Amino acid sequence: MAVPDNDNKWNLLQAKLNETKVTKAFEVFEDSGIEPVLIKGYASARFYPPEVGRAYVDVDLAVPPNEFQKAEELIKSTPLEGANIDLHKGFRHLDTVSWDRLFANTEVLELNDTKIRLLCPEDHLRILCVHWLTDGGENKERLWDIYYAVDRRPEEFSWEKCLGVVSENRQRWIKYTIGLAHKFLDLDISDLPFKDEAKKLPGWLPVEVKKNWDANNPIVPLNHCLHDRKKLWKQIKKRIPPNPIFSTVYMDGDLDSRTRVFYQIGNFATRFAAVIRTAIGKKFRSGKVK
């Protein structure tokens, strides 16, 4: 079996420090009356075998959309001892299931004498797969999150609970992402009810994933490259045309579609329009537009 390409010794050394950051964040939010849900990071790491470990830096917290502003203000006003909080306004594009239903399904675990709230394994896997796709399938190491979420799922795990709550199109997103973990990481899917479908990946999908991995040029926010013209130009070229995996998911498209061009055009047009609206809004707020 393949194994993650990481520095496991470092991961294990960091584990306790990261857990302290998680518990501190939950204590601060609890004191303010906000109940966040922990996603990614520790939520994924808990499925890894102890001897493997999983590195993470951010503490990713999802909060109810109507409490997002309050949570933002809390983070700005409260010292969290080095914890880098990545705040999420609900689950946005990552899922179509309502916040209330996802919250009702959550599990409360005790970590270092502090209660923390996480998605149930079924919701965790579904959202994890969509998140990986929205990264354009570029992060091979994060595909291991999906590997272990499937391989080490609890005995009572319900595929109906995981898949039956979303559209058939989104169900295929999940199945194909698991299929990619099978193809590239040798995930055993012989006991899955959809094993045959997961193996019949759209021909273009694994090719695109492998191309991204071989290029070794992960996407970086353009504002992080302004000091390096060569890197900036490389990142601009990477975005033209837009990543077909990301574009398909962003446009709620079908991975089985014969072409991704229309999704890429739609993605570019939608995001470009958003940039223009933001720029105009900033000018109006600054008083530069009369």
pLDDT reading at 224 higher than 70: yes
pLDDT reading at 63 higher than 50: yes
Please give the Cα distance from 78 to 70 (Å, whole number).
12
Please give the Cα distance from 150 to 192 (Å, whole number).
10
Please give the Cα distance from 85 to 244 (Å, whole number).
30
- The pLDDT score that the predictor gives to residue 279 is 54
For residue range 225-249, list pLDDT tens digits in order: 778 788 777 777 777 788 999 999 9
- The pLDDT score that the predictor gives to residue 66 is 95
Q: What is the pTM of this model?
A: 0.87
Helix (H) or strand (E) holding 229: helix 229-238
- The pLDDT score that the predictor gives to residue 94 is 95
Average pLDDT score over the chain? 88
- The pLDDT score that the predictor gives to residue 166 is 98
Mean pLDDT of 111-126: 96
Structure confidence at residue 90 as a pLDDT band (50, 70, 90): very high
